[in-house]
Amino acid sequence: MLGRIRVFVIAVWLLVVIAALYLYFFRRDLLASQLQSAFSVSVFTGCLVYFLFGCIRGLTLIPSAYLVFAAIPFLPRTPLLILTMVGILISSSSIYFFSEEMHLDAYFERKHRAKVRRVKEVLQKNELSIIIGWSFFPLAPTDLICYVCGALEVDFKKFLFGILIGEGSICAIYIFLGDSILRFLHLRA
């Protein structure tokens, strides 16, 4: 029974990833028009659509910055930051817990024992600072540190706190700076 559930979860995840990647790479215009029409109907609908995308975004491994940049012209900055962070925390938690289901930690232990030991040592000494730094750095995929923390069973509360600080800081910069630039260019009231 548990094996069937695992296969079902992986199949659903693969379908979501394939659909999201298809939309992102081949139908970006459709995705943008759907977002724009959702935001033009009502702010509540736009927020709801953005929140749902934010929650599943991590499972597609598409960076959160793309979603943030797409929403800056449409949503007020404070609600956008709150929705972004809640979506990132939900998405990051999913990756953290999903890493256990895939049992990739055993694979890495077998194939890269010395490297895994080194990463564990480094993370155990500086868990929080590494999670914050990795989450803040724009070129490092936060979803990867979420997986690593899940596979290495880093304390969940510490993991979430690190993601909150790192991603919260970089997303706040993106949102408030982006909003200020749009206002400076008179593209937003």
pLDDT tens string, the chain, 189 residues long: the values are 556 766 776 677 677 667 766 766 777 677 667 666 665 667 788 788 889 989 888 777 778 888 898 888 888 899 999 999 999 999 999 888 887 666 656 666 676 677 667 777 788 788 999 999 989 998 888 888 888 888 888 899 999 999 999 999 999 999 999 999 988 888 776
Packing angle, helices 77-102 and 104-111, rounded to 10? 70
Q: What pLDDT was estimated at residue 180? A: 92
Q: What pLDDT was estimated at residue 187? A: 74
Burial class of residue 123 in the structure, from the number of CB atoms within 10 Å of its CB (0-12 exposed, 13-18 middle, 19+ buried): middle
Q: What pLDDT was estimated at residue 169? A: 97
pTM listed for this prediction: 0.73
